Amino acid sequence: MKKIIWQIAKLFFLLFAISIITFLLMKLTPIDPVSSYLGADSNVTQEQYDYLVKVWGLDQPSIIQYFNWLKGALSGNMGDSFIYNKPVFELISKAASNTFMLMLTSWLLSGIIGFILGIVAAAYHGRIIDQIIQKISYLFASMPTFWFAILMLMFFAVTLGWFPVGMSAPIGVIEKDVSLWHRIHHMILPAMTLSILGISKIALHTREKLIDVLNSEYFLYSKVNGEKLWEFIRKHGIRNILLPAVTIQFASISELFGGSVLVENVFSYAGLGNITKIAGVKGDMPLLLAITLVSAVFVFVGNLCANILYPIIDPRIREGMYNDR
């Protein structure tokens, strides 16, 4: 019970600190939210401009603005978006579902494929297949996300025409007529892009950990006793490398979210990444604060899930926890 309370307290402290940092960074930017909202060709009068400033509460000192927002946030009201003129929860809930499915699909694919490739590379250490996996992994690890997304878009969508050029649903189709297949079809290419870029880290890390296991005296002893390589990997190797692989995979959630922002903008995918860009460029403080907090919760929950899985994967950790008590 104490650990649960401590985790909740850590989450609230994290969100509070992130909200302050985000608010200060937005205040330090030269972006004027009112001017961004009205546009460069706007012919509004000074009175109309001042009216918007007052309605949005921008005429008050920064410290008052923050505490007014914090007071509303603690009561469940994150405010209204300056740009969309809608409650931020309404905007985020709609966009978050698309982003969550995109991230979950990419996260699972990159973890599973990367783990398998890492095992194969380690099993054939020093051979041609190991060298190929290493070179491909290093190539994708050093490749900029937005640039690779553009290449995927040009090849698979424009040249081959296998997938839609962009968006999360067909253009011109009302929301109630958008089928599940439509959404999956529009998500495949962005998910492939994120998955391929996420494979490298888990593959290289798994390879190194399994090579350490295969170089151990325990493996040499098993080999002398007639145990085959893949039999040893299946019985003992996977168990020894699974814990660090899970750690790396859950730690990559924050990077995955950052990558999804870039990928969603390249593919014009209607998710959190798209509205994050608009909120940042237009200086939409309430929307950007809410998105930042939601992303922080994503990362925190991911790390929490990893901590919960540790004792299940390795019973020695569970025994250590009980001994500590």
Residue 113, pLDDT score: 93
Per-residue pLDDT, 316? 58
Let me know: does 122 contact 211? Beta carbons within 8 Å.
yes
Determine the angle formed by the axes of helices 253-266 and 145-152, rounding to 10 degrees.
50
> What per-residue confidence (pLDDT) applies to 257?
78
| Count of CB atoms situated within 10 Å of the CB of 225 | 7
Distances (CA, A) of 20 to 173, 221, 241, 278: 41, 57, 39, 20
Six-digit token string for 297: 């919760």
Spatial distance between the Cα atoms of 282 and 263, rounded to a whole number of angstroms: 20
78 CB burial (10 A radius; 0-12, 13-18, 19+)? buried
How is residue 80 annotated by DSSP? Answer: B
The two three-digit tokens of residue 264, written as one number: 């969603």
Lookup result for tokens 């050029």? 165
Confidence of residue 118 (pLDDT cuts 50, 70, 90): very high
115 against 313, higher pLDDT: 115
Residue range 216-267, pLDDT digits in tens: 887 777 777 777 888 888 887 888 888 878 878 887 877 787 788 888 888 8
What average pLDDT does range 109-135 have in this prediction?
Answer: 91
Global pTM reads 0.78
Q: Above 50 in pLDDT, residue 322?
A: no
Least confident of 32-36, 136-140, 207-211: 32-36
